[in-house]
Structure 1
């Protein structure tokens, strides 16, 4: 008992070394998570431990850091994109985009899973949300894929992982938050995410083709669409395709900022779903707004408490002490990028990716600057790891979304994920050694 008392006494007096403090923080946070507390509670407790440890610090610093975390103007785009995604998820946008892709490639070998993959990419470009993509595309495509003879484990793994392309394709909530935390242009990040996102969709589609070939005659091919059917699908999808045109084209041309694009996307979604398709009523928009308010509140609370926690561990110099043995400041850019990717991947496997983003980004920003890495490239790499972590056991958020939507047990949902995760690892390696995949379009768009 006296040893325990002495331990906590040392925390208060600041006589413990950084490794013991780090172990204490991690242990307390893990215990609170296993006790089913929401993530904001472990973050708050971590920050409060800092106040106890440094008793001379004004307690108002927690509130100050929380407000600082949610103050950047770029965060205004977050609720706007969430609201636009919610409105489109309730309407016809996903159906029309799926119809377009299926009419052109659905009849090919591997056409249906390729349709699902490309549709996830397109819907991600209008929603920016992986979970919205899982719900919208998954509910439509899963029955079709099962009817064609595909195994359910493959279907669920495809939808979960292809939906994560939404992390890279603008408007990505992860890219917005990274840009805010790292003081990096959100517009540049949006453009830089397009190349890796499209390449990842191509790699997933290639795997779908070879998987279908391997399955042989057990897969039933879809009837080829007539030219008239293709024209109808094009007509129906023209207006939904206005979303990526507005967001990507507007930012690429410099006509709008990401925040302005977010505002326009909400207006566009309301006009499209309420007045043109007439799918949604006034009450549906109000429900979407209320849902957006709840989600935004959760995100902003996490960002605010994450900022307070990040301030504490930076004040304690915990990151510098822990990273010192790696000698990152004198390392090659490839090695630093690998360490960053590994850190975010491991973190996102166990904790919500937005929380990991808020905690780790301030730790690596000084190192990125010191070694001369392009912060835009780092942002795309980090966002890619968020995508990997969201689909990777044990706690990937898209896995649990799929469990809820498809009503399937955990082990069955994750059974087919390994090939897709390996492809995501390949994409990470390509980004490390060929950064032009992300930076080429950015350099063209923002050339001076």
Structure 2
């Protein structure tokens, strides 16, 4: 049997395992191991498993994952996320649709410390959804704003999506973090514009909140100030070159812990729960990295990425036609797979094609992460939709999916703008790194 045929069987085996709910990390591990066993023998497959399992997690760059996850978990447990939402609500809540816009702003701010889409949606959803329900917001708009806003956690640095992409493609985590800032802000603005348009079209779905006195508005900024200072210090420190992303993650986590302890906002049980959640998330991500590092050499031996690149180029679609075909494939995958699974399975296959076409790898990282974000709110899987549905309680899944549709259209507009104007993603990293 030819290596290509074995590779195709390996892909089929991989998806077969995932269909039967095998965790994606172990599905990749098994497909890569048995594929190499068939092609190059048990000795080579065993050596690959041993060396890649160690080298995948021995890199110090992976430290950013547990540190930033811990930062977000401590911030959530200490109630700092409530301060972010209250500040956003005080400044924009009195506009029609203001609470939904405040939810988007809160998601964007919390994304800058959590790095996780699900954590962002859950944390802000627990605070924002009861408030919007109390003021009479339509369930679809309320849950749609939180589900869509939560996806910013996968794009605004520190993003676990960028960390995985950097490891899979050997790109700079710092450059990717910086590349995500303007696209993240662009999507935030587009989401808020979407809320405004929905409120304009159906005013009864998005009533205005109470007008907060100006003194109280500044008081809420003071409450949110400590966590906002940590955001500026960590991301700003990376930008000016004061410290690396790894150092920034450690400094940020330490500062949030100190702030929580100094303000007596964190008890022993809350701290233990935050650490345990961090360990669970880190173990999952590390296993995904190990699985990807075992699967990728198998793909390389089968020559499937090279053959795919030749096939796409042979279609004569041109660079942007090929990019469009890849994006469509991502959208289809997003209907059935979670974001991390999409990245680790697809990037090793499509990345050589992208670089051969002359596209900037940092720019494509932003494009890929945004398309993965779209998958988080696209039926039938839509991980963020299910998460927000769980937080909302009495809202049907159909209502949440209907509510996210305008925001999905806003994401498409944002993606098109970044494709048409690549400098939206590249101007900060190119200015910073030269």
Q: Could you say which TM-score interval applies, normalised by the shorter chain?
A: over 0.9
Q: Aligned residue for 2:39?
A: 54
CA distance in 1, matches of 2:322, 2:255: 41
CA distance in 1, matches of 2:205, 2:300: 56
**Residue by residue, what CA displacement relative to the aligned partner does 1:61-97 show, whole Å, maximum 9, x if unpaired?**
1222233333332111001011111111111211111
Q: Aligned residue for 1:3?
A: none
SS in 2 for 1:297: helix
Cα separation, partners in 2 of 1:257 and 1:400, compared to 1, 3 Å: same
1:279-428 equivalence runs, <5 A: 279-327=265-313, 332-407=318-393, 408-428=395-415
CA distance in 2, matches of 1:102, 1:409: 26
**Residue by residue, what CA displacement relative to the aligned partner does 1:390-412 show, whole Å, maximum 9, x if unpaired?**
22222232223223322344333
1:217 positional shift: 4.3
Cα separation, partners in 2 of 1:26 and 1:153, compared to 1, 3 Å: farther
Q: Aligned residue for 1:36?
A: 21
Unmatched segments (≥5 aa) in structure 2 = none
1:8-87 equivalence runs, <5 A: 15-16=1-2, 18=4, 20-21=5-6, 23-56=8-41, 58=44, 59-87=46-74
1:329 positional shift: 11
Mapped pair 1:174 → 2:161: yes
Cα separation, partners in 2 of 1:69 and 1:347, compared to 1, 3 Å: farther
CA distance in 2, matches of 1:143, 1:177: 34
1:297 positional shift: 0.8
1:435 positional shift: 0.4
**Residue by residue, what CA displacement relative to the aligned partner does 1:347-368 show, whole Å, maximum 9, x if unpaired?**
3332232222222222233333
SS in 1 for 2:226: coil
Mapped pair 1:90 → 2:80: no
Instruction: Find 2:144's aligned residue among 157, 163, 170.
Output: 157
Larger gyration radius, structure 1 or structure 2? 1
**Residue by residue, what CA displacement relative to the aligned partner does 1:147-188 show, whole Å, maximum 9, x if unpaired?**
222221221121111111121111111112212221212111
**Residue by residue, what CA displacement relative to the aligned partner does 1:365-406 show, whole Å, maximum 9, x if unpaired?**
333333332211011111111211122222232223223322
Mapped pair 1:106 → 2:93: yes
1:250 positional shift: 0.5
CA distance in 2, matches of 1:213, 1:144: 20
CA distance in 1, matches of 2:100, 2:141: 9
Q: Aligned residue for 2:420?
A: 433
TM-score by length of 2: 0.93
